[in-house]
Amino acid sequence: MKGLWSKYREMILYVLFGVVTTAVNQGAYWLLAGPFAVPYLWATALAQVLAILVAYITNRRWVFQSQAKGIQGIVLEMIRFFSARGATFLLDLGCMYVGVELLHINDNWMKFFSNVVVILVNYMLSKAFVFRKKGKTPRRKD
């Protein structure tokens, strides 16, 4: 059991906190779009901002166990994180627009599908660019 934990700890924690972040995103979206009647794109944007803040805290502390130290290191890490999440934020909005407006998919179902896509892309970006271990650079294909 310890061997499996050691081997897959990061992925297990990413999935666990991904569920938490997704719950925050979905819950905030449902609350904003439902009872508060905020238009779906605005509700998506606000829910995504809240989820990104939760994701940064959990990913930095528990998932990737960030080694960034000092103001400069942490600020650079935050810039990389929020830039990557900004890209997937636009992906989320694009998925919602295409799914709801163009394909006429129920907004709640589309939000769920969009979250799955965003979680996968976020993991890849976090692993490759944001929380790299010291001395590791992204692999280059020749």
Give yes or no for residue 58 having a pLDDT over 90: yes
Mean pLDDT for all residues in the chain: 90
pTM for this structure? 0.74
Q: pLDDT (tens digit, 9 = 90+) per residue, 1-25?
A: 888 898 999 999 999 998 999 899 9
pLDDT above 80 (res 60) = yes
Question: What percent of the chain stands above pLDDT 70?
Answer: 94
Q: Render 60-123 in DSSP notation, one character per residue.
A: IIIIS-----HHHHHHHHHHHHHHHHHHHHHHHHHHHIIIIIIS---HHHHHHHHHHHHHHHHH
Residue 141 confidence (pLDDT):
54
> In the chain, where are the structural domains located?
2-130
